[in-house]
Amino acid sequence: MSQLTLYTSEICPYAQRTRIVLDAKAVEHTAVEIDLDNKPGWFLALTPTQRVPVIRQDDFLLWESATVNEYIDASFDGVALRPKDERARAVMRNEIKHFDSVFLATLYKLLFEQDAISQQVLREENIEGLKFLEHRLGEIQGAGPYWMGTTMSLADAAMWPFFERIKAVFSYYRGLEIPSECKRLLRWFDVVAEHPSVRLAAHDADYFLPLYTNYASGAAQGLSAQTFRSGAAN
Ligand SMILES: N[C@@H](CCC(=O)N[C@@H](CS)C(=O)NCC(=O)O)C(=O)O
């Protein structure tokens, strides 16, 4: 089998999930950076979603970060990032599904919203969304500190990149902060931030802020921008 190729974009939190997983499992691969503002024709032909991340192994192509990461974890040696227990594994899948389809849709709607009163409504909805995640952590993680308990999992890799942006981008442009009462969430963010594979893929606010001006001003016109602006999940 030939080496895995990852089609990625440095700014993309979904591709960041896969970069974290590949590094955590020490999977040798080639990373190909895709310019999302000017996607090459050959990339558009690879995937019907026209989004990163995509992986290729010989003639096998796969997209959708949650599926890609499950495939990588199942197919490569190294640290296991899915719980062994089938029930816990199913719960982890649901956590990521809720995060992707409900939490992120509300989060990005706030970033695209230009009206101050609507922003306030969405900020409050997002605070409720964060409190719900805190509640889920209380149900699931036991003593933690990771989402699924004592060890890092695909749930941590899936969610942390977006919390990195809440801290850097959403707080700056939309005044969204993780409530201080969300103690599990705050501790989780700090612990996962120290994981070597997470650190390797992380960036600071100086990197993010200029790259998100188009989202915050509502000017961005890419596929993801159109999807998030409509209030849907990407
Ligand atoms: N559901 C997809 C979402 C991937 C996604 O939205 N990627 C964005 C970059 S962060 C993208 O490639 N967007 C293409 C565009 O905006 O034209 C996944 O989980 O992989």
- The predicted pLDDT at position 163 comes to 98
Going from the Cα of 224 to the center of ligand 1, the distance in angstroms, rounded, reads: 6
> Model-level pTM?
0.98
**Would you state the pLDDT for residue 62?**
98
**Model confidence pLDDT, tens digit, residues 200-219:** 999 999 999 999 999 999 99
DSSP state of 170: I
From 52, 55, 165, mutation site for ligand 1 pocket: most ligand atoms within 8 A of C-beta: 52
Q: What is the Cα gyration radius of the chain?
A: 17
Tell me if residue 182 is catalytic.
no
DSSP codes of every residue in 52-73: S-EEEETTEEEE-HHHHHHHHH
- State whether residue 5 is helix, strand or coil: strand
154 lines ligand 1 (CB under 6 A): no
Instruction: List Cβ neighbours of 136 (8 Å cut-off, separation of 6 or more).
Output: 95, 98
65 close to ligand 1 (CB < 6 Angstrom) = yes
Angle between helices 104-112 and 116-140 (to 10 degrees): 160
Q: pLDDT tens digits, the chain, 234 residues: what are they? A: 679 999 999 999 999 999 999 999 999 999 999 999 999 999 999 999 999 999 999 999 999 999 999 999 999 999 999 999 999 999 999 999 999 999 999 999 999 999 999 999 999 999 999 999 999 999 999 999 999 999 999 999 999 999 999 999 999 999 999 999 999 999 999 999 999 999 999 999 999 999 999 999 999 999 999 999 999 999
Structural domains in the chain, CATH included, are 4-75 (3.40.30.10), 86-229 (1.20.1050.10)
Q: Given the DSSP bridges, would you call strands 29-33 and 60-63 parallel, antiparallel or unpaired?
A: unpaired
Q: How far apart are CA 9 and CA 16, in angstroms?
A: 8
